[in-house]
Structure 1
């Protein structure tokens, strides 16, 4: 989606190499589910993550506002020399992917909607697919377009679940309140669409609520999380461009691709975190999204506060 911008197309910058980081941004901590999937698939890659915690959620904002916020967040990462940009926010992917691809060309920019739609089409047998998302993503219809482009006979049911974002950002991922909200959102949809057999978690905040959502829908629906599919797309894109990080792509004496980011050893890709507000809270809640194995990397003192 095109949008007016206060910036001209991004000025030419020196070409980056394989040792440069992958940039990932989201409105908050939800995109850390994508970062986690990237680390699992590409353990050697250095990663740079920005959570725009001062202005979340994006899902209730107008399309023009989301495009503006997304460009500002992306620019911070691009200015730090990333080799690829991941929009780890379904709302921003839905409305800002085309704009960011134009502004930051030739930098590859990957969103999470297209990979999620691809995974849903492969998972569904009946062709009736339920998409849980934010108000902005549902309003824009990006998932329905992406799914139907791949599977013309698909029947797509979209449901906005804004409270799921608030729960996830608070770290409330289980318990009777979460379960009650999940049933409130889903029970009527499932009654009205008995042939649905696939449910897309169309917001990167939602995977941490997976247990409660699964309990509400039961075994009849396959849950699709776009994070892993997105990580596969990123790996494919980096390989095609010769930008996969390997031990040989950055010898120990090589300068850091990003100031302050050490070149990682094999299997030990580094991760740096930026937030626009409340670094301590970002670290606390973000640890839930990163998972037990990766949570130690996300300490309050490791989160840099940035101003967009």
Structure 2
């Protein structure tokens, strides 16, 4: 089995790291569309065009199952991707909402994500479809702090404290009895322990881990049979992708191939 993983950058490597733990016998091909990020500042039509071209590339590389590890693409282009390729496709938003449903006792959930994901209200809709109420909070400073490597930096911890305090106040104001927090950005799993310490009474849902578990469940016996091969592609800045991506993957990335997907 060959699994394709797509993101606009390196954040999706947290999903791939979780996949390697839960589906270790598969082959993997990862694409970071670094030349065209950030997706969040683009129109839905443009995001769909970019995401579809990336998904088709992975399918042409032999991927038999696609994981859309980009929250923005999952929110705004998942249907277009599913229409464009003939392999199963799973997005991180649906998996995060499924995990929230499985773990919440109060049926009220909180979500932290990027501006673009929050503005799409994709988590709110996905949770509502499952009978959950969700309150979303944009945390735009967290991505650059994580990419800077400031995981335990006092600045990061203070920014987290402010965001989470505001979110909890908003939940109280809206009469939500939330017991679950969904990490709605693939960068945020690197901050999971810090987030859990800040809100010890809430169950933290790691969207990367939830996605990997659902891929493993969906594939079942078909998950094996690979040789454990891994290939990494980026559409720009392959050296930066390799250096930064190794931190997200949790292990050294030996090489990244440059690919041109056009405009």
Secondary structure at the residue paired with 1:49? strand
Distance 2:112 2:64 in 1: 31
Q: CA deviation at 1:238?
A: 2.7
Distance 1:60 1:164 in 2: 17
Shift of residue 116, structure 1, vs aligned partner: 0.7
Structure 2: 5+ residue stretches without partners: none
In structure 1, what is the Cα distance between the partners aligned to 2:216 and 2:57?
Answer: 23
Q: 2 CA distance for matches of 1:22 and 1:74?
A: 12
Between Structure 1 and Structure 2, which shows a larger proportion of helix residues? 2
Q: Could you say which residue in structure 1 is the equivalent of 2:44?
A: 63
* 1:132 is aligned to 2:112: yes
- Output the CA distance in 2 between the equivalents of 1:245 and 1:28: 27
* Alpha-carbon spacing, 1:125–1:87, altered in 2? closer, same or farther (3 Å): same
**What does 1:100-139 align with in structure 2 at a 5 Å threshold?**
100-104=81-85, 106-139=86-119
Aligned residue for 2:112, secondary structure, equals strand
Whole-Å Cα distance in 2 between the matches of residues 212 and 27 of structure 1? 25
CA distance in 2: counterparts of 1:167 and 1:306, whole angstroms: 28
Aligned-residue offset at 1:213? 2.3
CA distance in 2, matches of 1:122, 1:290: 26
Paired residue for 1:276?
A: 235
For the 8 Å contact 2:56–2:84, the answer to whether it is kept is: no
Indicate if the aligned counterparts of 2:107 and 2:133 stay in contact, CA closer than 8 A: yes
Structure number with larger C-alpha Rg:
1
Are residues 115 and 137 of structure 1, via their aligned partners in 2, closer, same or farther at CA, if it must alter by over 3 Å?
A: same
Query: Aligned partners of 2:258, 2:146: CA distance in 1, in Å?
Result: 21
Question: What is the alpha-carbon distance in structure 2 between the residues aligned to residue 188 and residue 42 of structure 1?
Answer: 37
Q: Could you say if the C-alpha distance between residues 62 and 182 of structure 1 is closer, same or farther in structure 2, counting changes exceeding 3 Å? A: farther
Q: RMSD of aligned C-alpha atoms?
A: 1.7
Q: Which runs of 5+ in 1 are unaligned?
A: 1-17, 247-262
CA 1:113 to 1:159, structure 2 compared with 1: closer, same or farther past 3 Å? same
Corresponding pairs, count: 257
Mapping of residues 224-303 of structure 1, within 5 Å: 224-239=205-220, 243-246=222-225, 264=227, 269-291=228-250, 295-296=251-252, 298-299=253-254, 302-303=255-256
CA distance in 2, matches of 1:55, 1:213: 30
User: What is the CA-CA distance between 1:140 and the residue it aligns to?
Assistant: 1.6
CA distance in 2, matches of 1:102, 1:236: 23
Q: TM-score, normalised by structure 2?
A: 0.91
Partner of 1:214: 196
Which digits, 9 at most, give the CA deviation of each residue in 1:44-63, with x for residues without a partner?
10100011122222233332
After superposing on structure 2, the runs of 4+ consecutive aligned residues of structure 1 that deviate more than 4 Å are: none
